[in-house]
Amino acid sequence: MPEQFTALPEWLARGVVDLFPLATGTAKNQTFQEKLEKSINTKKPLRVKFGIDPTGTDIHLGHSILFRKLRAFQDAGHIAVLIIGDFTARIGDPTGKSKTRIQLTSEEVEENAKTYLQQLGNGKLKNESLLDFETKGRVEIHRNSKWLENFDIAKIIDLLSKSTVGQMLAKDEFSKRYASGIPIALHEFLYPLFQGYDSVAVEADIELGGIDQKFNVAMGRDIQRYFGQQPQFGMLLPILVGLDGSQKMSKSLGNTVGLSEDALSMYSKLEKVPDSQVLNYLNLLTDCDLQNLPDDPRDLQKFMALNVTAQFHGMSSANIAQKDASKIIAGLKETVEEVPESSISSISFPVKAFYLVSAIGLCSTSSEARRQIQGGAVRLEGEKILDPNLEFLDAKELIGKIFQLGKKTFRRISH
What integer pLDDT is reported at residue 368 of this predicted model? 87
Distance between CA 332 and CA 323 in Å, rounded?
11
Distance between CA 187 and CA 281 in Å, rounded?
37
Task: Please give the model's pTM, rounded to 2 decimal places.
Answer: 0.77
What integer pLDDT is reported at residue 1 of this predicted model? 42
CA contacts within 13 A on the Cβ side of 206: 25
The pLDDT-based confidence of 98 (bands split at 50, 70, 90) is very low
3-state secondary structure (DSSP) of residue 99: coil
What is the identity of the amino acid at 183? P
Please answer whether residues 296 and 96 qualify as being in contact, where contact means their C-beta atoms are separated by less than 8 angstroms.
Answer: no
Helices (H), 161-213: 165-169, 172-180, 186-202
Distance between CA 41 and CA 45 in Å, rounded?
10
Q: Over 60: is that where the pLDDT of 97 sits?
A: no
For the ranges 24-28, 98-102, 238-242, the lowest mean pLDDT is seen at 24-28
Could you tell me what percent of the chain has a pLDDT over 90? 48
Q: What is the mean pLDDT of residues 179-192?
A: 87
- Which range is most confident: 236-250, 356-370, 390-404? 236-250
pLDDT in tens, 281-298: 999 999 999 999 999 999
What integer pLDDT is reported at residue 184 of this predicted model? 86
Comparing CA positions, the residue from 305, 308, 336 lying closest to residue 402 is 336
- Segment (H or E) for 353: helix 353-359
Q: To the nearest 5 percent, what fractions of the chain are helix, strand and coil?
A: 45, 15, 40
Burial of 384 (0-12, 13-18, 19+ CB in 10 A): exposed
The angle subtended at Cα 110 by Cα 187 and Cα 152, nearest 5°, is 40
Could you tell me what percent of the chain has a pLDDT over 70? 92
All domains in the chain, ordered by first residue: 10-237 (3.40.50.620), 261-329 (no CATH), 341-414 (3.10.290.10)
pLDDT in tens, 134-180: 999 999 999 999 999 989 999 889 888 888 888 888 888 888 888 88
Please answer whether residues 363 and 405 qualify as being in contact, where contact means their C-beta atoms are separated by less than 8 angstroms.
Answer: yes
3-state secondary structure (DSSP) of residue 164: coil
Mean pLDDT for the chain overall: 87
- Which range is most confident: 71-75, 92-96, 311-315? 71-75
- Segment (H or E) for 37: helix 32-41
pLDDT in tens, 18-75: 999 975 544 456 789 999 999 999 999 999 999 988 877 778 999 999 999 999 999 9
Burial of 84 (0-12, 13-18, 19+ CB in 10 A): buried
The pLDDT-based confidence of 2 (bands split at 50, 70, 90) is very low
pLDDT in tens, 242-283: 998 999 998 777 788 989 888 888 998 899 899 999 999 999
What integer pLDDT is reported at residue 27 of this predicted model? 44
